[in-house]
Structure 1
Amino acid sequence: MEIVDRVEAAAYRVPTEVPEADGTLAWDATTLVVATVAAGGVTGTGWTYAPAAAAGVVRDVLAGVVTGTPAADVPAAAAAMARQVRNAGRPGVAGYALSAVDVALWDLKAKLFGVPLTRLFGAALDRVPLYGSGGFTTYDDDRTVAQLTRWVHEQGIGRVKIKIGESDGARPERDLHRVALARKVIGEDAELYVDANGGYGAGQAVRQAERMREHDVRWFEEPVSSDDLPGLRLVRERVRPDVAAGEYGCDAGYFARMCAAGAVDCLQIDATRCGGYTGWFAGAAVAAGHHLQVSAHCAPNLHLPAAAATPHLRHIEWFHDHQRIEGELFDGAADPAGGSARPRDDVPGHGLTLRAAAAEPYRVA
């Protein structure tokens, strides 16, 4: 039995192409935190999108409890990490760090066994449906049109999502203009999704949904804050689009409360935040128990192996920032052409390898 003998982490800050924003936040760079674990001369890699401080949590808080554990016993290591961050705060930076290490451990285990990660999990799907995600509120019409045109008419992606709820819901007319523009660009056959990132109150979200009805919006993500379960339920009961939320949940207990409250039609799970692949499958089990589908939130290449092993998957989010970073800084990134992607099944592990030379100019920790 190989024993974990090394745990390391690094952070890379990658500027955006242009300033970006959603309903409640603005940014000009995205930070990638990469965790690596090693055993028997083999290295596993995991990552998350989080403040650079998460790299310090990996090194200073988690490395000590993971080092020396059997590499095959990932659930035991995951439980040990969860105990270790009890006083550090499981939601937030500590949870992101734990998630990156968990992914790295599963990658390491699959490599030691010599199998693709999706085979270690057990595949349920050959290909994983996806949707193009971006359409930031800072985009002008020309940039929005260009992005949507590339996804739908050049890459053949039949589902797309744009951001609304601009300035905490203060610009509803511009939101509606952008929804109408998106529908015009993608045509009648593609599915149109919107994401308010909690920018609306429940009443405003219902009113906006009614006004968006003529544009056949199929998916309304986080119309109110993911913490506002009564508000999510109210919107869900009043509007036609499927209401989705949950990506900020840090554990299965949060997902269970969301499902039990009848707050969503589809549960979003983010393995880079909720405990890695271990947390993904715990959340997926909760959703299955409530007869709900799940959707992977962001980090598309990281989610592919777990998504392909989830029978009740709806799709994964091909998020612009993350797919750009994963395509630039990793070997093995998937091709989204045709609106679906296939996890790597020709190499052990998840199949992505950090290009150290390409990443080094962005390193901040």
Structure 2
Amino acid sequence: MSDRPAVDAIGTAVYTVPTDAPEADGTLAWDKTTLVLVTARSGTTTGLGYTYAPAVTAHLVRELLAGTVTGLPAYDVPRANELMSRAVRNAGLPGLAAQAIAAVDIALWDLKARLLGLPLVHLLGAARTDVPVYGSGGFTTYDAGRQERQLRGWAEDQGIPRVKIKIGESWGTRQDRDLERVARARAAIGDAAELYVDANGGYTGGQAVRVAGALADQGVTWFEEPVSSDHLTVLAGIRDRIPLDVAAGEYGYTLPYFEHMLAAGAVDCLQADVTRCGGITVWLRAAGLAHARGTDISGHCAPHAHAHAAAAVPNLRHLEWFHDHVRIEHLLFDGVLDPAGGSVTPGADGAPGLGLTLAEERAAPYRTG
């Protein structure tokens, strides 16, 4: 045991990046996004991980988690994940604590792969070479021109054959505009590309069923969070009554959450966010739960944190190429992936770990903690 590398130190940094235009979905508006970066060091090797969460998450890492994992064998990431989960018992695991654990867990997997000189996908074991992505944005604050430019940029310029827009504007009170924007989106991408929508829980159950009929007329195939994912019985009822695939799960912070959602028959495709659910360790377990029930999994946001793990599961449907996070990850990191043609290929360049390095000079102006 003594000759095995240990985790010597955990560090944090916080970066806040303004959006390139005002953004909103069905139930929230924002004008900036915060990334909490975690580094895990063993000797001269450093791994990185991150989550999109408030700056206080970095404090949780320093106060509750750093001491828990420092000194552990760097190869024993599942052990570290379990000990971190136990360490936040009184703080409460779901929410910010799970996001803090996620950032550390991702950093530890990146560190392990770097210590072994392997791309993370090779360490995990690949189930596929390419990871399909879908362009995601289409915020409710966009006018017709901005929405069309964004969608055409994905579908035409980058060749991504599936895109998603936000609907459910103002908690479902602007349904006519929602459907108008869906029609415009279909016109922008043509008939060959898949069209998805995300209501972020903005509709009522009956309203979601009624809207689904109009969505189907536009060839929409993916209806994300038609109602809040807190209401699994309602979500399952909607799934039984509409022809579109129902997706949810992005707010899952613990493994039992995903089991409850799957057991309720609430989704056709489970979503899980590696930066929220406790990291790569738990995301892979969620994928296993879904696989056991014959259900696909889709990675929610943070594409470069997901890509290698996504390539390691056989029941992956796709990965969200989310506008905000793609911008931020291109800004803060070198080694980002190219989605041209509609997929990314993690590990193709042979770079160890996640293949990312912090672009310190570009990132410096955005550091807030």
AA of the residue aligned to 1:150: G
The answer to whether the 8 A contact 1:251-1:283 is kept is: no
Match of 1:125 among 128, 150, 169: 128
Aligned partner of 1:115 among 99, 111, 118: 118
Q: Is the counterpart of residue 357 in structure 1 residue 324 in structure 2?
A: no
1:81 is aligned to 2:102: no
- How far apart, in 1, do the equivalents of 2:163 and 2:320 lie? 9
CA distance in 2, matches of 1:5, 1:45: 14
Q: Tell me the TM-score normalized by structure 1.
A: 0.99
* Cα contact 1:195–1:222 (8 A) shared by 2: yes
Contact kept, 8 Å, 1:165 with 1:197, in 2: the verdict is yes
CA-CA distance at 1:60 after TM superposition: 1.1
Aligned equivalent of 1:164: 167
Is 1:248 aligned to residue 251 of structure 2?
yes
| Structure 1 residue 344, shift from structure 2 partner | 2.4
Query: 3-state SS of the aligned residue for 1:28?
Result: strand
Partner residue in 1 for 2:351: 347
Q: Separation in 1 of the partners of 2:305 and 2:143?
A: 30
Letter in 2 for 1:53: V
Counterpart contact for 2:122–2:347, Cα < 8 Å: no
Instruction: Name the CA distance, whole Å, in 2 between partners of 1:312 and 1:201.
Output: 30
Partner letter of residue 245 of structure 1?
Answer: A
Alignment match, 1:334:
337
CA distance in 1, matches of 2:127, 2:216: 34
1:234 Cα shift?
Answer: 1.0
The residue number in structure 2 matching 1:311 is: 314
Q: Percent identity?
A: 60
Q: 5+ unaligned residues in a row in structure 1: which ranges?
A: none
Distance 1:129 1:5 in 2: 36
The Cα offsets for residues 34-54 of structure 1, whole Å up to 9 and x where unpaired, read as 000101210010001000111
Residues 1-365 of structure 1 correspond to what in structure 2 (within 5 A)? 1-345=4-348, 346-365=350-369
The RMSD of aligned alpha carbons is 0.7
Q: If the length of structure 2 is used for normalisation, what is the TM-score?
A: 0.98
- Give the match's secondary structure for 2:126: coil
CA contact (8 A) 1:156 1:339 kept: yes
Alpha-carbon distance, 1:93 to partner: 1.1
AA aligned to 2:114 is: K
Aligned residues: 365
2:282 alignment partner AA:
G
Runs of 4+ in 1 over 6 A off after TM superposition: none
Opposite residue 133 of structure 1, the aligned amino acid is: S
Q: Distance in 2 between matches of 1:53 and 1:360?
A: 19
SS of corresponding position for 1:309? coil
Following the alignment from structure 1 to structure 2, what is the Cα–Cα distance between the partners of residues 358 and 97? 24
| Shift of residue 61, structure 1, vs aligned partner | 0.9
